[in-house]
A and B are shown apart, each in its own frame.
Chain A
Amino acid sequence: MDALGLLRPAASVSGLPAAHVPHAASGFALGDHAGRAPAAPAEGPGVVASASSGPLQRRFEPYQNNGGTVLAVAGKDFCVVASDTRLGLGYSIPSRKVSRILKMTDKVVLASSGMQADMMTLHKTLRMRLVKYQQNHQKDMSLTAASQMLSNMLYTRRFFPYYTFNVLGGIDEKGEGWAYGYDAIGSHEKVSAVCSGTGQTLIQPVLDNQIEFKQQWGAPKVDLSLEATVELIRDAFTSAGERDIYTGDYVEICKITKDGVEVEEFQLKFD
């Protein structure tokens, strides 16, 4: 499982030849835990190691995946942004309570999963830019402005990306709720519901079905209320916590309405 598959550029940043390191260390690599079966390498059982693999070149691995799931669901006049708070590394849990959420303004909230260090730096840089904008323009950044700024910031690091998978949610100038989903280098799309992180494949189909009524031909498309949305999100995170080892512990749920941002904490399983 190559965590960098999509991110690794063809050219090498460090100037060294971009050697293909078979199964380079990544956050998901099985560590040297005692008792772990060492004879089942990533190639899988039944594969005889070929003698033709040459000398192994190890190089500095700048990224690690700390796991976690984030999502943003937009309603008619509100938006809910939620993330779990578990920090994982390999098979360990360095922390059960880290915040992946940045409250950018009273109307815009960002949540980022992926590498914790890059997430913290990105959030710090964003905060600086937000303050500068506020001082220059005498008003807070709007949702559309913030979404474009984040995209630009991520793309400036096109060849050594922030290893973050972001979702942005909030209320725009017209008072409508919208969510934006990003990839690591800034491609973004305005949507009603988006999910990112290790639990993405578990939660996104549920959001597609229940919020956007995909694959429900005959069903009437109703707008969910804020409370109904939050109940769905609690359910989605509970389910993701059952099946994804990197999702669990607590969930931070930010409800953005015209009155501001309210934060709720919801407990998941610790196993």
Chain B
Amino acid sequence: MVFPCLPLLRHAASLWYGSLCGRRGYTMPKPVKTGTTIAGVVFADGIVLGADTRATSGSTVFEKFCEKIHYIAPNIYCCGAGTSADTESSTGLISSQLELHRLATGRESRVSTSLTMLKRMLFRYQGHVSAALVLGGVDLHGPHLYTVYPHGSTDRLPYVTMGSGSLAAMAVFETGYKDDLSLEDAKNLVYRGISAGIYNDLGSGGNVDLCIIKRGSTEYLRGFATENARKYRRPSGYAFAPGTTAVLSSKFTRPLKEIAVVEEAGVAEAAVDGAATPATGEMDTTT
């Protein structure tokens, strides 16, 4: 039985201060969560991963076009749901560790390696690192698709969805999934699943990003479907004439040396030699 070790020592201080905040009644800042619909599907030649692009903080959209498909290795990508900082840090950390591992072993990374690194880290933090991931890639043993839960458990499955829109996407997958899909069918299925999340889940929105991983090639289609661009803008726009903001006082300070803005280096030297040095001082204008 592996005892859950303490989180890294450097995080102990922030945990202590955080609990102090709760006891003294200060409110912690709301974390940016991704809301999210993320999904993955195994098809005939590899993996298709998909994600929406909305990040929310409470009920406000924090970012309309964020990137939820993270790079782990040239042949492994990971979609992340949950707290944005947690998904970005954990995938970034494991990606670095994997690169060092590749240099040490001299081999292409295996998906199960990244899986084990991720789950060991998340279990160590006992669920406080709120990262729910869909990990997919192709290695020497073929295509692999996993889900990783915040507490550290994992599943290996042919089609997966995570995030607040996971039910909407899974409804589409359960209807449309077959074994050995073609590339076009797989892309279409993932696109429809993510779209179901975007339109039916309030935590998800924006565009559909896809990532197609095959043996030997990876295609990251950022903005595969961009149906949710802003539609209306006021024709007259917004203009603010000079004087809209009241100027209460002005103060001008002459620079100590005359500054010459030049186009070519040769001209600059001539200008510096010939420039006079004006009297230094401040010009005050108060209205």
Contact = CB atoms under 8 A, between A and B. Distances in A.
Interface residues of A, number: 48
Contacts of B27: 44
B132 to A, nearest CB: 6
Nearest to B20: A47
A258 B108 CA distance: 75
Secondary structure of the B contact surface, majority rule: loop
A46 B127 CA distance: 11
Contacts of B28: 43-47
Interface in A174-226: 198, 210, 215-219
B132 A47 contact: no
B150 A43 contact: no
Interface residues of B, number: 66
B21 A47 contact: yes
Contacts of A50: 19, 22-23
A50 B16 CA distance: 12
A246 B166 contact: no
A47 B19 CA distance: 5
A34 interface: yes
Interface string B107-147: 00000000000000000001110111000000000000000
B58 interface: yes
Interface in B12-30: 14-15, 17-19, 21-23, 27-30
B82 A231 contact: no
A88 B203 CA distance: 11
B253 interface: no
B243 A244 contact: no
B59 A47 contact: no
Interface stretch (A136-144, A146-154, A162-170, A234-242): A234-242
Contacts, number: 155
A80 to B, nearest CB: 14
B91 interface: no
Secondary structure of the A contact surface, majority rule: loop
A217 B234 contact: no
A246 B59 contact: yes
Contacts of A44: 18, 27-31
B217 to A, nearest CB: 29
Contacts of B230: 238, 242
Given A28-B58, A44-B28, A33 B232 contact: no
A128 interface: no
B202 A37 contact: no
A237 to B, nearest CB: 9
B240 interface: yes
Nearest to A31: B164
Interface stretch (B92-100, B193-201, B275-283): B193-201
B83 A37 contact: yes
B233 interface: yes
Interface string A76-92: 00000000000010111
Contacts of A40: 31, 33, 82-83, 128, 130, 150
B18 A48 contact: yes
Given A218-B246, A242-B230, A88 B164 contact: no
A91 B236 contact: no
B64 A242 contact: yes
B60 interface: yes
Given A45-B83, A91-B201, A218 B243 contact: yes
Contact of A39 (B150, B204, B234): B150
Contacts of A269: 205, 228, 231
Interface of B: 14-15, 17-19, 21-23, 27-31, 33, 35, 54, 56, 58-61, 64, 81-83, 86, 126-128, 130-132, 150-151, 161-164, 166-167, 170, 198-206, 228, 230-236, 238, 240-246
16 contacts: A28-B58, A35-B162, A39-B127, A45-B28, A48-B18, A91-B35, A92-B200, A218-B241, A219-B240, A219-B244, A244-B59, A245-B56, A245-B61, A267-B231, A269-B205, A271-B205
Given A47-B28, A91-B164, A246-B202, 7 more contacts: A28-B58, A38-B150, A40-B82, A235-B234, A244-B59, A244-B61, A245-B60
